[in-house]
Amino acid sequence: MNLTSGDYHGVVASARAGTEVAPRSAVSVQLAAQEAKAWARLGDRRQTEVALDRGRRLLDALPYPENLAHHFMVDPTKFDFYAMDCYRHLAEDRMAESLANEVIQASTDFDGTERAPMRLAEARITHGVVAARQGDLDQAVHHGEQALHGERKSLPSLMMVIRDLTRVLRERYPSEPATKAYLGQLQAVTASNGLAWAPRSP
């Protein structure tokens, strides 16, 4: 089940099939989140909300996970992270921004140490997307730069998320120097890591 393939209806079908096998497990919470993310990418808010609600109710009924490093273990913070992704794709900016703040707070120690770099990076991208939609290009690029130059993380995964921001920048501010400069930074970072960067058309 892979959201990056673009087969969102396939993701929904796979998630529901998996849930039937293990309807009250931590895996089902993860599957509900993946289904919600697929519906969000399809632009269906109602089905997104249904899947998120199902996942949240399943999560609330389970004991708090002992091993948060396990891929299929989901705690409330991780579920907020998934929900943030959904609301960003649905352009529900107030909810996405609120969840991004929650993710940043939960992923940062009191001394500023970053405990979950990828979650922080995606939360910053979410802030960037919201700022771009609200007409604040400087803040959008600032958040994007924070995500790009933060503590080292999985660059291929980060690039997939950054496309959400670059898509908005290219749609709304295609000729602005700040947009061109940020795209240049992306090209430089990816090239230095042996990756190719080709911003997708809207």
What number of other Cβ atoms are within 10 A of residue 164's Cβ?
A: 17
What number of other Cβ atoms are within 10 A of residue 74's Cβ?
A: 24
d(CA 171, CA 162): 14
Q: Which of 113-122, 138-147, 150-159 has the lowest mean pLDDT?
A: 150-159
Is residue 192's pLDDT more than 60? Answer: yes
Q: What is the mean pLDDT of residues 18-33?
A: 84
Q: What is the mean pLDDT of residues 60-83?
A: 73
Q: Exposure pattern of 43-64 as b/e (b: 16+ CB <10 Å)?
A: ebbebbbebbebbbebbeeeee
Longest dimension (CA), the chain: 52
Q: Counting runs of H as helices and runs of E as strands, what totals does the chain give?
A: 9, 0
Query: What are the pLDDT digits (tens) for 88-102?
Result: 999 999 999 999 999
Query: For the chain, what is the radius of gyration of the CA atoms?
Result: 17
Q: What is the pLDDT of residue 195?
A: 60
Those residues with Cβ within 8 angstroms of residue 25's Cβ, 6 or more apart along the chain or in another chain:
62
Q: What is the pLDDT of residue 201?
A: 42
pTM reported for the whole predicted model: 0.86
What tokens appear for 199 in the block?
């911003």
Q: What is the pLDDT of residue 35?
A: 95
Query: What are the pLDDT digits (tens) for 151-179?
Result: 766 777 788 889 999 999 999 999 999 99
Is residue 126's pLDDT more than 80? Answer: yes
Question: ∠ CA(166), CA(169), CA(170), 5° rounding?
Answer: 85
Query: What are the pLDDT digits (tens) for 44-56?
Result: 999 999 999 999 9
